[in-house]
Structure 1
Amino acid sequence: MRVLLTGATGFVGRAVLGRLAASDDLQAVAAIRGDALSDCPPHVSTVQVAGLEDGTDWSQALNQADVVIHGAARVHVMNDTEADPLEAFRKVNVEGTLSLARQAAGLGIRRFIFISSIKVNGEGTPLNEPYVADATPAPADPYGISKMEAEQGLREIAGESGMEVVIIRPVLVYGPGVRANFLNMMRWLDKGIPLPFGAIHNRRSLVALDNLADLIVTCIRHPAAANQTFLVSDGEDLSTTQLLTRMAQALGKPARLLPVPSVLLERGAQLLGKRALSQRLCGSLQVDIAKTRELLGWTPPVGVDEALVSAANYYKDRQR
């Protein structure tokens, strides 16, 4: 089976490419912009595309595929400088995605797998009240809104064409090569910096890169995945304090965590204009993956500690 993958040079895309390459009966074709061709592994079949825009002609790429995994997107941007961030997200994540999907349906593509985001559900949950896959969406930022609108458009295309659509909403993804706040936390722990996060009793769902890639590949051919929406996590929720403690163990470092009450951290963050950071560190965001487990018979193949060691080893080898 031939699988067209967009976003193949990204953090998640590279892991999916690895899974496809290890399969005996799946052939990966990576859709790559010309300026990113050198970033793709040399053994991967590629087809050059103009970009994720409404006017892009995908026929050459789609003619080489039976299934599409669509991971390319304009990603969540901190301190976005766009005059109209929502319009910028819509141009790529909605218009570009739906143009690709319409062309795929017109050329007889059997299944379209869309990598969405938990931000479609919202920004956080009450403690021990996780999001479920089929709850009413409540996105709160332009990125989440654009992903929700793309999902809605894809369902319409599926209903009109018969092309099967599978939607996957990951939580925070971590693993070898992770960046942003997760990488910053590893750096802080590696340097032995005391951190005021020793008394945070929230719960957050995370997903290891290997677990997400495994689910995506599972959805290529599982009959029960057709026209479904799935949430994905490691199946073990951690507090920020637990995450930092176990991350330090993976790095072989002591966790110097000061037991500052989370209410003080939240007030301090608000005074500094860092409310979003406070939510990520002190707030809860949990997902229920029962539907994913039951419909697909899927279990996360990698445990949290194994995944943290993998991320830590990559960091120690290449990021220091």
Structure 2
Amino acid sequence: MKVLITGANGFVGQNLISHLSEKSDVEVLRFTREDALQSLPELVAQVDFVFHLAGVNRPQNPQEFYAGNTDLTRELCDSIRLSGRKVPVLYTSSTQAGLDNAYGQSKLGAEQILLDLSSEYGSDVHVCRLPNVFGKWARPNYNSAVATFCNNIARDLPITINDPLARINLVYIDDVISCFVDVMEGRKSGAPFVTVEPQYNVSVGEIAKQLTTFRESRESLITESVGTGFVRALYSTYLSYLPPEDFTYEVPKHGDPRGVFVEMLKTKDAGQFSYFTAHPGITRGGHYHHSKTEKFLVIKGTACFRFRHIVSGEFYELVTTGDKPEIVETVPGWSHDITNMGVEEMIVMLWANEIFDREAPDTYTYPVGTQA
């Protein structure tokens, strides 16, 4: 399958090309600002589908809206007719289409030209009126507040907010591309309008606050809920604006004669992650918790875990090694410790179900001892 992408060097175009390049059965042809209009017929004659992404949204002269949006679309449709083939087209229009401004009217005009192509010639036409799109590779200081905020906050530069309560509708670039590919492959259709879901309605102030929290998380180690929905998409977008020298950051390391202890990540509602080391023969722990629970995973070395019930005195002992991934859980009401039984440094990953609170640590010294 051959696909033509107009506006291939733009934000959406680069992301679309990246995704299509992962498909072994798709070949991408490109049309950019550097290409002459006269090359369109030859390109269109070769392809099975057109993503018409090219357009103008910030010209020097308002008349350029019509040249870059309406007139270019007419040239594309004429090229499809000239090819003698009913090539399908997906067009990225705008939610501003129909508004009383030059940009909106130029996009509406382009839509109508495509609809005429569909009704008069028979090409399948899919019109997607996109709201604000955010994601990796959007140009900052251009026409995306999210891109500008991400770029500046990642670099500790100031941002300007005129009205923090102003709300905007957003779609995430990966959802846009997923929708587009579904249309191309026949899994999604429009009549003729296609809607990208999900859409997010958020205030400018909320976006800035969330991005600032992402930046501060490197100090607090407390992560946001970045696994789903808008926060996931915004976090991925924010990270894409980090300069390479900021791909790493240090976290505190606490050391004593036993080894080191390092906290890696904390969550608001699902505990924290850390690791510790222990020299040969060293024992750590010797305490119990009433509510706190932990999961230990020995990464390197050999560990002896010992447990004693603080009421009944029941004793239990087990050995685990880094050669066999095995989670050991601590249980409320059982005192526990861990001893490095090997001849090399032991490294252990640790998850606790709550962030450590020095004012209420829920940690009480109670020697485990040995089996009687």
1:58 Cα deviation from its structure 2 partner: 1.9
Indicate if the aligned counterparts of 2:146 and 2:207 stay in contact, CA closer than 8 A: no
CA distance in structure 1 between the aligned counterparts of 2:196 and 2:110, rounded to whole angstroms: 19
* Aligned 8 A contact 1:8 1:17 in 2: yes
1:90 aligns with 2:66: yes
Tell me the equivalent position of 2:10.
Answer: 10
Q: Normalising by structure 2, report the TM-score.
A: 0.56
Q: Residue by residue, what CA displacement relative to the aligned partner does 1:88-117 show, whole Å, maximum 9, x if unpaired?
A: 211221111111112113321431111111
Q: Which runs of 4+ in 1 moved over 4 A?
A: 192-199
SS of aligned partner of 2:241: helix
Partner residue, 2:42: 60
Q: Give 2:95's match in structure 1, choosing from 118, 133, 149.
A: 118
Alignment match, 1:210: 174
**1:211 offset after TM fit, Å?**
1.3
CA distance in 2, matches of 1:160, 1:230: 20
Between the aligned partners of 2:60 and 2:235, the Cα distance in structure 1 is 36
Output the CA distance in 1 between the equivalents of 2:77 and 2:206: 41
Confirm or deny: 8 A CA contact 1:234 1:304 kept in the other structure: no
State how 1:97-246 maps to structure 2 within 5 Å: 97-107=73-83, 108-120=85-97, 138-178=98-138, 179-180=140-141, 181-190=145-154, 191=156, 193=158, 200=165, 202-222=166-186, 225=189, 227-246=191-210
Which string of whole-angstrom CA distances, capped at 9 and with x for unpartnered residues, describes residues 248-293 of structure 1? Answer: 2333369xxxxxxxxxxxxxxxxxxxxxxxxxxxxxxxxxxxxxxx
TM-score (norm 1): 0.64
Cα distance change on mapping 1:188 and 1:25 into 2, 3 Å: closer
Residue matched to 2:243: 317
Rounded Cα–Cα distance in structure 2 between residues aligned with 1:141 and 1:197: 22
CA distance in 2 between partners of 1:198 and 1:91 (Å): 33
Q: Highest CA radius of gyration, 1 or 2? A: 2
**What is the rounded CA distance, in whole Å, between the counterparts of 1:319 and 1:141 in structure 2?**
43
> 1:293: which partner in 2?
none
Identity of aligned residues (%): 22
Higher relative contact order (CA 8 A, sep 6+): 1
Write the distance in 1 (CA, Å) between the matches of 2:190 and 2:6.
20
CA distances 1:127-162 after superposition (whole Å, capped 9, x unpaired): xxxxxxxxxxx3132111100011011111111100
C-alpha change, 1:253 and 1:302, in structure 2 (3 Å) is closer
TM-fit CA distance, 1:195: 6.8
CA shift at 1:230, angstroms?
2.2
Provide the rounded CA distance (Å) in 1 between the counterparts of 2:6 and 2:25.
Answer: 19
Q: What is the alpha-carbon distance in structure 2 between the residues aligned to residue 139 and residue 73 of structure 1?
A: 17
1:194 & 1:13 partners in 2: Cα distance?
27
Q: Secondary structure at the match of 1:73?
A: coil
SS at match of 2:202: coil
CA distance in 1, matches of 2:70, 2:217: 43
- Residue 57 of structure 1 deviates from its aligned partner by 4.3
Higher strand share: 2
Measure the CA separation in 1 of the matches of 2:64 and 2:163. 39
User: Alpha carbon RMSD of aligned pairs, Å?
Assistant: 2.8
Number of residues paired by the alignment? 232
Structure 1 pair 196–24 and aligned structure 2 pair: CA distance change class (3 A): closer
User: What's the offset of the Cα at 1:310?
Assistant: 1.9
SS at match of 1:22: coil
Alpha-carbon distance in structure 1 between the residues aligned to 2:206 and 2:32: 39
Is structure 2 residue 52 aligned with structure 1 residue 70? Answer: yes
Which amino acid is 2:81 matched to?
Answer: A
Where does residue 131 of structure 1 map in the other structure? Answer: none
Aligned-partner Cα distance in 1 for 2:99–2:152? 31
The one-letter code sitting in structure 2 at the alignment partner of 1:67 is F
